[in-house]
Amino acid sequence: MAQFNYIYADSIMLVYKNMYIVLFLIMVFMFSNNPARASIMTQEMASIKRSAGKPTASTG
């Protein structure tokens, strides 16, 4: 059972890391289309990284 918990935690961390990669790719894609929207995305990314340590209702 403990081994399953470790695998579950690793999968959650993998999902969060991939989510940051996906958000970064979206930010780059927005920047290639609309620089003004990209600046808003960078601000959202900064706020997401600031609140990453705290569990919020909007997470997930």
Segments making up each domain of the chain, as ranges: 2-40
Q: What is the mean pLDDT of each run of 10 residues along the chain (60 residues)?
A: 68 81 82 67 75 58
Structure tokens at 52: 């990453």
The pTM assigned to this predicted structure is 0.32
CA 39 – CA 4 distance, rounded (Å): 41
CA 30 – CA 12 distance, rounded (Å): 27
> Given this model, what pLDDT does residue 22 score?
84
